[in-house]
């Protein structure tokens, strides 16, 4: 029995996500002990849903960062799809068509980012720094800087209701994040596509010399990032039953932070989709826990930053432990 148990623990220790799991566990334990309502079912579901607001973006960002790129426009794409779809629904476009067009628009924004980066030979961080403003500006123009309510017909449609409801008490956006997390993990770690994304991020020259078509992967990953942002915009629209041009503001930072906290290398070459989901959960747990503790506005920002650093430090230490034992 003992050797099997030991190998089980070793396997757990070798998991990329062990460190971030420990950090999340430490935070959950802390808030469970210091607040009365943190561990309640309603609160935990709320935390998971709040994490899913930017969780999809974070998981797609894993692919982008692993490739060695950065996409700063995801929050703006989310807003653009959110309000554009709301406007389309208000104008009477059928719900399924509007949602499909919204998703396609998100993917198109991502493709445009990739194409600009490839054609102009500019790093994606610069391209998306510009398109971040362009897409946000388009969202403001389309919405006239005003929230857009959905009409009764759209609100009652089967598609929007299914995207905004709960399944066995689990919000649809959390279900979407779970499904995306599993798919994303399989694609990144178990497919040729994922391996090549990691190879490109690890060593661009070597990847090029080995015949990998860098341009195709760049376009594909940026399109994926845009599509994920579009999906996030649609889920926000379905849940809040209104489009809002402020949607997604600063979400690019949350997405990058979640991915990095979850173990994705900022320099490219490796990443963890489940880690990004856990990173998003860590950020949501901190926001939720500090409010439950009664920490008001001015102190919450200081403590939030400190807790993020602490969470990353726990992850780092846990990863270092097995190396020291050797």
Partner 1 sequence: MRRTRFRRRPCLVLAPCLPLLVLAGCQREVGPGRLKIGFVLHGLNDFTQVIAKGAEDAGRDLDADVEVTGPAGFVHEQAIAMFEAMAQKGKAGIAVVPQPGAVWVVPIRHAAAAGIPVVTANVTSPGSAASAWFGQDERRSGVLLARELRSILEAEGKLEGSIAVGSCAPGIEVLASRYEGFREGMEGSRYELTEPFDVTAENTRNYGAWENVVSSQKDLVAAVGLCSLDIPNLAKVKVRSGGKWLIAGYDLNVETLDAIRAGTAQVTVGQHPYLQGYLPVRALVEHLREGKPLVKGWIDAGTEVVTKANVDSVYEREVDEDAETRWYAAHRAERFADLSALAKPFPREKKP
Q: Which of 19, 245, 271, 279 binds partner 1 (CB under 8 A)?
A: 245
In the structure, how many helices (H) and strands (E) does the chain have? Answer: 15, 4
- Nearest Cα neighbor of 236 from 67, 35, 56 is 56
Chain positions 260 to 289 lying near partner 1, rule: CB under 8 A, are 284, 287-288
Q: Does 73 bind partner 1 (CB under 8 A)?
A: no
| Pick 270 or 287: Cβ nearer partner 1 | 287
Q: In the 8-state DSSP scheme, what is residue 43? A: H
- What is d(CA 255, CA 177) in angstroms, rounded to the nearest whole number? 13
Q: Give alpha helix (H) positions in 35-122.
A: 41-67, 74-90, 95-120
Contact yes or no for 203/81 (Cβ under 8 A): no
In 3D space, the residue among 59, 104, 51, 44 whose CA is nearest the CA of residue 77 turns out to be 104
Token code pair at residue 181: 């997390």
The one among 26, 147, 170, 270 contacting partner 1 by CB under 8 A: 147
Question: Interface with partner 1 includes 34 (CB under 8 A)?
Answer: no
Contact 284, 120 (CB under 8 A): no
CB of 252 to partner 1, least distance (A): 12
Give the C-alpha separation, 51 to 283, whole Å. Answer: 7
Note whether 85 binds partner 1 by CB under 8 A. Answer: no
Total chain residues near partner 1 (CB under 8 A):
42
Among 125, 183, 291, 317, binds partner 1 (CB under 8 A): 291
**Residue 250, interface with partner 1 (CB under 8 A)?**
yes
- Residues 69 and 105: their CA atoms lie apart, in Å, by 21
What binding mask, one character per residue, do residues 89-128 give for partner 1 by CB under 8 A, x or -?
----------------------------------------
Nearer residue to partner 1 within complex by CB, 203 or 246: 246
Binding site for partner 1 (CB under 8 A): 35, 37, 42-43, 46, 49-50, 53, 133, 136-137, 140, 144-147, 149, 236, 239-242, 244-251, 284, 287-288, 291-294, 296-298, 300-301
């Amino acid at each position: 029995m003992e050797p099997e148990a030991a190998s089980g623990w070793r396997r757990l220790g070798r998991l990329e996500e062990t460190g971030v799991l420990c950090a999340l566990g430490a935070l959950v334990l802390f808030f469970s002990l210091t607040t009365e309502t943190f561990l309640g079912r309603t609160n935990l579901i709320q935390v998971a849903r709040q994490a899913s607001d930017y969780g999809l973006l974070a998981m797609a960002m894993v692919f982008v960062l692993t490739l060695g790129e950065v996409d700063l426009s995801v929050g703006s794409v989310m807003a653009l799809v959110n309000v554009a779809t709301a406007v389309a629904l208000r104008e009477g476009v059928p719900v399924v068509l509007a949602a499909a067009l919204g998703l396609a628009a998100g993917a198109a924004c991502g493709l445009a980012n990739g194409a600009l980066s490839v054609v102009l030979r500019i790093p994606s961080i610069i391209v998306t720094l510009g398109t971040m403003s362009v897409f946000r500006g388009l969202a403001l123009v389309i919405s006239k800087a005003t929230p857009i309510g959905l009409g009764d017909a759209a609100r009652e449609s089967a598609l929007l209701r299914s995207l905004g409801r709960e399944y066995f008490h689990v919000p649809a956006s959390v279900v979407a994040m779970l499904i995306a997390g599993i798919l994303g993990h399989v694609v990144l770690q178990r497919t040729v596509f994922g391996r090549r994304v990691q190879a490109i991020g690890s060593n661009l020259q070597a990847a090029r010399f080995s015949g990998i078509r860098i341009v195709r992967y760049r376009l594909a990953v940026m399109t994926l990032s845009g599509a994920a942002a579009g999906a996030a915009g649609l889920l926000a629209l379905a849940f809040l039953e209104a489009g809002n041009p402020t949607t997604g503001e600063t979400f690019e930072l949350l997405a990058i932070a979640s991915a990095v906290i979850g173990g994705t290398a900022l320099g490219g070459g490796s990443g963890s989709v489940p880690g990004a989901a856990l990173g998003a959960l860590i950020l949501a747990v901190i926001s939720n826990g500090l409010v439950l503790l009664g920490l008001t506005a001015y102190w919450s920002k200081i403590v939030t930053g400190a807790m993020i650093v602490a969470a990353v430090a726990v992850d780092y230490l846990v990863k270092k432990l097995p190396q020291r034992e050797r």
